[in-house]
Amino acid sequence: MTLELLAPAKNLEFGREAINHGADALYIGAPAFGARAAATNTIEDIDQLVRYAHLFGSKVFATVNTLLFDDEIVPALQMIHRLYSSGVDALIIQDMGLLECDLPPIELHASTQCHNATVERVKFMERVGFKRVILARETSIEQMHAIRRDTTVDLEAFIHGALCVCYSGQCYMSQYLNARSGNRGCCSQPCRSAYDLYDGTGRQLIKDRHLLSLKDFDASQQIGAMIDAGITSFKIEGRLKDLSYVKNVTAYYRQLLDSMMSGHSPSSSGKCEFYFMPDISRTFNRGYSDYFLRQRQPMASFETQKALGKQVGMVTNVQPNSFIINSKEAIVPGDGLCFLDGRNTLQGFLVNHVDGHVITPNIMPDIQQGTTLWRSHDHAFEKQLQGKTAIRKIGVNISFDTTPNGFIIRLFDDDGVAVEYCMDAAHEQANDNSRSSEQIKKQLAKLGETPFVANMVTDCTQGYYFLPISVLNQMRRCAVDLLIEHRISHFHPKGMRCEASNDASVPERLDYRYNIINKQAEKFYKSHGAREIEYGLEFTGDYRDKALMTTKYCLRYELGCCLKGKSKNKPQVSINNSDSLMLGNNGRYFRLEFDCSACQMLVYAKE
């Protein structure tokens, strides 16, 4: 079984670096219709990235995972055919209407926006023709086992990055508040805003806290269990993150997966050498949680929606213009440090000067002895990541021999891709037989800045010949160029689609949560048994009695007030079991409902 590390590519540069740092596959935004409208790319850049990825046997998946209106179907199809011509390996889609269209023979992946949270849903996706299903982030390892037992489709799961508080594809809050639909790639992230909490009488229980903002996802300690559960693609979130994040996180999980490869193999080629020590605690994070992989646990970040970074120590003494910290971490000028003040509000500052444990900030904050500090910007680490941080090489065996009219060089790489290059030249006997063969092998092994490294060089000539270094260099360069083109061609997708079966069915009545906003999607679901269809909120704008969020996250649990008594947190507010709860933000109010049988919280607009 092969294991795939799937990394985000904001653009061509980021994609190349993700490959260099060990990605087996990339997902990248197409020119339009992707779930990150701020991370689109031209077809020309995708062309180049596909060539670079296929050189290493890595794959490129294009995100076309927004809901489409009727007038967008034709331009989306035109773009998809162009992506297919570029050699993109698969499309990540959400809108089922595309399955009713004239798609090229390209592999299809069901986006996590499709709400792939149950065995039944994954079965359905497999039966309608998807090669891969990207599981909801809320999926537990136990559920992964169950899905694997009942399906054969490839399973992809997130392992790192930002968490949406709502089930992906089931969040309509941004659309309701700002006419910016997450299902259309324009989420305004209202879950990261600050809210007040009220009980049913209107009494304010909590003021100005980030009650829907979650920590970031870190599944690094659960990778082995996920492999055992049948996950084969491990996905890093972050198409809007910076380059240092892509380098660091990709390298970290590359090393982690490599350490677990017993009985498995990577899905791409080459070995990476890193010039830094990957450390996910030193890059952008809001604190970490492994979410629901094992069991429900505290996961909120009430105090701030911003990155805290790594905890570095505690203030032991405060002076007029400096303070002392008991840190084992090396703090350097340029670091950004942050802390929670007496009102539990995040404050931050830059470090100007360090003398042992004495820190002089650029502006002295109102900080107290005993305050915990985090490093939100690691200046030394970020500076290191700005330079060359990795190299990836493919092993190749080289042989050199004579032909009747000259010489031939043969290259045979670790994937079995082979090329040969001949050059006419006189068989001129060398003056120093003892050095000629070694000189030839030494020169042919100089693969330098190419993607290759010589495993072994063999001189198969029966005599000792003299060739000018310029001739050997030319033969080596030409052979390498041939191997590059042959590898790109070798890993070009074969243009296959999974066949749909006839036994996929849906309920007769479909409500707004099926996200149907075009006639093709309506046709698709009716062909699978639907009789009554309610169009999605992006189309109707009818939010009355509609859940704007359906989430496995539970605010009562986080506050230590679980109705089932299962919370591990101490009660943070006094809430009776019979109390209704409401969130408020800038004059807008939202009532909360708690479905304890499903362990879910629902958020409704309170008009």
Residue 293 pLDDT class (50, 70, 90 cuts): very high
Which sign does the torsion angle of CA 309, 312, 317, 320 carry?
negative
Residues 441-450: tens digit of each pLDDT: 999 999 999 9
Residues 529-546: tens digit of each pLDDT: 999 999 999 999 999 999
Rounded to the nearest integer, the mean pLDDT of the chain is 94
Query: How far is it, in rounded angstroms, from Cα 202 to Cα 580?
Result: 10
CB 36: neighbour CB atoms within 10 A? 19
Q: Is residue 576 over pLDDT 80?
A: no
Residue 65 pLDDT class (50, 70, 90 cuts): very high
Q: Is residue 497 over pLDDT 90?
A: no
Q: What backbone phi and psi angles, to 5 degrees, belong to 410?
A: -120, 135
What's the whole-number mean pLDDT along residues 188-199?
95
Tokens (6 digits) for 395: 């092993």
pLDDT at 403: 94
> Distances from the Cα of 443 to the Cαs of 246, 408, 474, in angstroms?
36, 14, 11
Q: Is residue 179 over pLDDT 90?
A: yes
pLDDT at 496: 80
Q: Is residue 63 over pLDDT 90?
A: yes
What's the whole-number mean pLDDT along residues 506-515?
97
List the single range of 248-252, 349-353, 466-470, 576-580 with lowest mean pLDDT.
576-580
Q: What backbone phi and psi angles, to 5 degrees, belong to 511?
A: -95, -170
Report the candidate in 467, 457, 473 with the shortest Cα–Cα distance to residue 436: 467
What is the CATH topology of the domain spanning 394-490?
Nucleotidyltransferase; domain 5 (3.30.420)
Residues 5-21: tens digit of each pLDDT: 999 999 999 999 999 99
Residues 409-437: tens digit of each pLDDT: 999 999 999 999 999 998 888 877 667 88
Name the residue type at position 551: T
What is the CATH topology of the domain spanning 310-377?
Thrombin, subunit H (2.40.10)
CB 216: neighbour CB atoms within 10 A? 22
Higher pLDDT residue, 359 or 495? 359
pLDDT at 433: 67
Domain ranges of the chain: 2-163+214-282, 310-377, 394-490
Q: Is residue 467 over pLDDT 70?
A: yes
Report the candidate in 291, 26, 284, 249 with the shortest Cα–Cα distance to residue 137: 291
What 3-state DSSP class applies to 138? coil
What's the whole-number mean pLDDT along residues 289-312?
91
Altogether, the residues listed in the chain come to a count of 607
Residues 73-129: tens digit of each pLDDT: 999 999 999 999 999 999 999 999 999 999 999 999 999 999 999 999 999 999 999
Query: How far is it, in rounded angstroms, from Cα 158 to Cα 188?
Result: 22
Residues 360-413: tens digit of each pLDDT: 999 999 999 999 999 999 999 999 999 999 999 999 999 999 999 999 999 999
DSSP-assigned beta bridge partners for residue 456: 397
CB 332 within 8 A of CB 312: no
CA 291 to chain centre: 16
Residues 234-288: tens digit of each pLDDT: 999 999 999 999 999 999 999 999 999 888 888 999 999 999 999 999 999 999 9
Query: What percent of the chain stands above pLDDT 70?
Result: 100
Which sign does the torsion angle of CA 37, 39, 42, 46 carry?
negative
Tokens (6 digits) for 104: 């090229």
Query: How far is it, in rounded angstroms, from Cα 42 to Cα 47?
Result: 9
Residue 36 pLDDT class (50, 70, 90 cuts): confident
Report the candidate in 27, 12, 84, 26 with the shortest Cα–Cα distance to residue 57: 26
* Architecture label for domain 2-163+214-282: Alpha-Beta Barrel (3.20)
Angle at CA 46, nearest 5°, toward 44 and 47?
65
pLDDT at 200: 86
**Alpha helix segments (H runs only) across 315-446:** 379-386, 433-444
| Residues 6 or more apart in contact with residue 470 via CB below 8 angstroms | none
